[in-house]
């Protein structure tokens, strides 16, 4: 059982470039989330999805886009990368029932120079 997987693990972008961070979960969870974690800081919610075809903004959505065409996948798109987007990005998922704990992927470390 792989849980939540993220690719790539590391990436360096130049200012103005674009990229997609991939997130896949194999737990059949309806809910999926994208967070960013700046050095020494807590997590900030970027976007989330409550099911295929449904997405919503979190606390810091500017500069990002998401889509949810399947239950398993929730890619995060960065358009026109900026140094302020240098961060570690975590994807998470949860079931729609129970105590609502989220399960996290290993993260993608992104540097924009």
Q: Which spans of this chain sit near another protein (rule: CB under 8 A)? A: 4, 31, 33, 41-43, 45, 48, 50, 56, 58, 90, 92, 99-107
CB of 26 to another protein, least distance (A): 16
CB of 49 to another protein, least distance (A): 9
CB of 104 to another protein, least distance (A): 4
Nearer to another protein (CB atom), residue 39 or residue 113? 39
CB of 69 to another protein, least distance (A): 19
Nearer to another protein (CB atom), residue 28 or residue 100? 100
Please report, in angstroms and rounded to a whole number, the separation of the first and last CA atoms in the chain: 36
Nearer to another protein (CB atom), residue 30 or residue 65? 30
DSSP string for the chain: ---EEEE-SEEEE-TT--EEEEEEESS--SEEEEEEE-TT--EEEEEEEEETTEEEE-S--TTEEE--SSSSB--EEE-S--GGG-EEEEEEEE-SSTT---EE---EEEEE-
């Amino acid at each position: 059982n792989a849980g939540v997987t993220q690719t790539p693990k590391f990436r360096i972008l130049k200012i103005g470039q674009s990229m997609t961070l991939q997130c896949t979960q194999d737990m059949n969870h309806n809910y999926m989330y994208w967070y960013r974690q700046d050095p020494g800081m807590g997590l900030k919610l970027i976007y989330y999805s409550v099911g295929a075809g449904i997405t919503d903004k979190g606390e810091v959505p500017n500069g990002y886009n998401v889509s949810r065409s399947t239950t398993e996948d929730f890619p995060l798109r960065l358009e026109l990368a900026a140094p302020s987007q240098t961060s570690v990005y975590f994807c998470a998922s949860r079931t729609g029932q129970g105590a609502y704990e989220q399960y996290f992927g290993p993260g993608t470390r992104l540097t924009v120079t």
